[in-house]
Amino acid sequence: MSRMTDYQSQIDAGLEQAFATYGFAEPNIETLRKATGVSLRTLYKYVPSRQEMILRALEYRHHRYMAHVFAETTQPDGMSLEGIVDRVDQWMKAEATHGCLFHAAVASAPQDEKLRALLDRHKAEMAQRTAEVSGLQGHEGEISIIIEGLMQSWPLRGPEAVTAAKTLCAILLQVNRPSSGSENS
């Protein structure tokens, strides 16, 4: 890995952690600089504005989230929808106890088109990838509602939210299970 890539990863990881810890309004530039472990000059060399810092932090988080949720989906049989819910639950416990960082970012700057586009892309990729690995292509909307509902209710409901999401997964799977037997004409 090159020194430039090392700095980029270090900066992105530090920014993600700072925004996850302090939110998007609170941390001043010195707090962000300390979180990255680089000089102010180096920080601005790699990330020239606060908006860019937020976007880079969220992009970094997106990649970590997707890697966590879909870590073992190279198997030919994919992954169950309930297994994905379990991975999202693990993520929430470890990384997002206060809720979705993407939604928090958009809430802090609702007119920011770039933030909204990043949120939309993150959520669409999550739903699409979940549909692919669970064999539910064409049901990205339903999957999105289940996963988003889980993430939004998890900070208040925890295990109850996971149980409810799994119930909805079972209903989605049951409704979309091919019927067995033939119909009479």
Q: Which CATH number is 53's domain given?
A: 1.10.357.10
| The two three-digit tokens of residue 130, written as one number | 């979940």
Considering the domain boundaries, does residue 51 fall inside one?
yes
Considering the domain boundaries, does residue 182 fall inside one?
no
DSSP state of 19: H
Range of the domain at 118: 3-175
**Tell me, what's the pLDDT at 89?**
96
Contact indicator for 10, 34 with CB cutoff of 8 Å = no
Q: Is 77 helix (H, G, I), strand (E, B) or coil?
A: coil
**Tell me, what's the pLDDT at 184?**
45
Q: What is the residue-level pLDDT of the chain in tens, covering all 185 positions?
A: 576 688 899 999 999 999 999 999 999 999 999 999 999 999 999 999 999 999 999 999 999 999 999 986 555 466 899 999 999 999 999 998 888 999 999 999 999 999 999 999 999 999 999 999 999 999 999 999 999 999 999 999 999 999 999 999 999 999 987 655 444 44
* Predicted structure pTM score: 0.89
What's the structural domain count of the chain?
A: 1
| The two three-digit tokens of residue 53, written as one number | 């810092």
Rounded to 5 degrees, what are φ and ψ at 77?
-90, 5
What is the C-alpha separation between 145 and 127, in angstroms, rounded? 9
